[in-house]
C-alpha cells in the first residue's frame, strides 16, 4: 500500500510541473473549485492532500492517476519522437485531453503565459480565457482551437478529433492531392477491430 506522504509528494510534483508559473494557486482553484489557500497550504506542506484534491487530479489528468496513486510510472517508449510523454489511451479520453497533450508537446510555456501564447497564435480569435477553460478541462475544444494546433502540429489533427489516426487524407479541392490519393493503396485498419 502506498503511504499518504508519498502520494502528497507526487501530487506536489505534479502540481508544480503542470502549473509551473506565477498564479499557480489561482489556476488550481479555477480548475478544481478547491480554494487557492487550500492548494497553497498543501503545496507548502502545511496540510496533506484532501480526498477532494486527489479526486480532482485523477479526474482532470487521467494520465497521472497511476503514478499519483500507486507510484508506478508509465514506461517511456524507447525512441518516442515527441517532446511530451507518451499519451495513455483510455476509454474516457476526450478531445480536450488529446488537444492538451498536443499543446504540451508543441509549446513550452505554462499557465497564463501559455494561454496568452495560444491567444497570439490564434491571432486573437480565441481568448486566453477560452484556452484556459479547455486546458483546465472545464470545456471541450472548438474546431478553431484544433485548427490553431493543427497549423503547428498537423500530424495530430485526426488523432485529436477522432481519437485515432490512420486514414490517408485527401484535399478534394487540390488536384495534386487527389492524384496522390488515387495512387495510394487504401491500407487503413481500424484500431478497434
The pLDDT value recorded for residue 135 is 87
The pLDDT value recorded for residue 167 is 67
SS (H, E, C) 14-43: HHHHHCCCCCHHHHHHHHHCCCHHHHHHHH
Q: Answer with the residue of higher pLDDT: 80 or 18.
A: 18
Q: Indicate whether 191 pLDDT > 70.
A: no
Report if residue 44 sits inside a domain: yes
Residues of the domain holding 16 = 4-70
The domain tally of the chain equals 2
State mean pLDDT over 17-40: 89
Report if residue 111 sits inside a domain: yes
Q: Are 105 and 84 in contact (CB under 8 A)?
A: yes
Q: What is the pLDDT of residues 154-186, one digit of tens each?
A: 888 988 998 887 767 777 777 887 777 777 755
Is 100 found in the same domain as 52?
no
Report if residue 27 sits inside a domain: yes
Q: What is the pLDDT of residues 38-49, one digit of tens each?
A: 999 999 999 999
Q: What is the pLDDT of residues 88-115, one digit of tens each?
A: 777 788 888 889 889 988 887 777 788 9
Is 163 found in the same domain as 99?
yes
User: How large is the C-alpha radius of gyration of the chain?
Assistant: 19
Q: 20 falls in which pLDDT band (50, 70, 90)?
A: confident
From CA 192, how far away is CA 162, in angstroms rounded? 12
Beta strands in the chain (DSSP E): none
CB-count exposure of residue 134 (10 Å: 0-12, 13-18, 19+): buried
Report if residue 154 sits inside a domain: yes
The count of other CB atoms within 10 Å of the CB of residue 161 is: 16
The pLDDT value recorded for residue 1 is 46
Report if residue 87 sits inside a domain: no
Report if residue 83 sits inside a domain: no
Report if residue 175 sits inside a domain: no
Q: What is the pLDDT of residues 49-86, one digit of tens each?
A: 999 999 999 888 877 888 888 887 766 656 677 777 77
Question: Of 106, 95, 171, which Cα lies nearest the Cα of 139?
Answer: 95
The 8 Å CB, 24+ separation contacts for 81-89 are 87/63, 88/62, 88/63
Q: Indicate whether 123 pLDDT > 90.
A: yes
Question: Of 121, 106, 117, 100, which Cα lies nearest the Cα of 31?
Answer: 100
From CA 36, how far away is CA 100, in angstroms rounded? 23
Q: Is the pTM of this model over 0.85?
A: no
Is 16 found in the same domain as 65?
yes
Q: 2 falls in which pLDDT band (50, 70, 90)?
A: low
Q: Answer with the residue of higher pLDDT: 190 or 145.
A: 145
Amino acid at each position: 500500500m502506498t503511504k499518504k506522504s508519498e502520494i502528497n509528494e507526487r501530487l506536489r510534483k505534479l502540481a508544480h510541473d503542470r502549473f509551473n508559473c506565477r498564479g499557480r494557486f489561482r489556476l488550481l482553484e479555477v480548475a478544481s473549485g478547491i480554494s487557492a489557500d487550500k492548494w497553497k497550504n498543501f503545496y507548502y506542506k502545511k496540510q496533506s492532500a484532501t480526498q477532494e484534491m486527489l479526486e480532482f487530479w485523477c479526474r482532470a489528468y487521467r494520465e497521472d492517476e497511476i503514478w499519483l496513486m500507486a507510484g508506478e510510472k508509465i514506461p517511456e517508449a524507447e525512441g518516442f519522437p515527441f517532446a511530451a510523454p507518451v499519451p495513455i489511451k483510455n476509454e474516457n479520453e476526450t478531445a480536450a485531453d488529446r488537444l492538451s497533450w498536443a499543446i504540451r508537446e508543441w509549446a513550452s510555456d505554462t499557465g497564463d503565459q501559455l494561454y496568452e501564447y495560444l491567444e497570439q497564435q490564434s491571432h486573437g480569435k480565441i481568448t486566453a480565457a477560452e484556452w484556459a477553460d479547455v486546458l483546465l478541462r472545464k470545456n471541450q475544444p472548438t474546431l478553431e482551437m484544433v485548427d490553431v494546433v493543427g497549423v503547428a502540429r498537423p500530424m495530430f489533427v485526426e488523432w485529436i478529433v477522432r481519437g485515432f489516426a490512420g486514414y490517408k487524407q485527401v484535399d478534394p479541392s487540390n488536384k495534386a492531392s487527389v492524384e496522390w490519393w488515387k495512387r495510394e493503396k487504401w491500407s487503413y485498419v481500424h484500431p478497434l477491430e
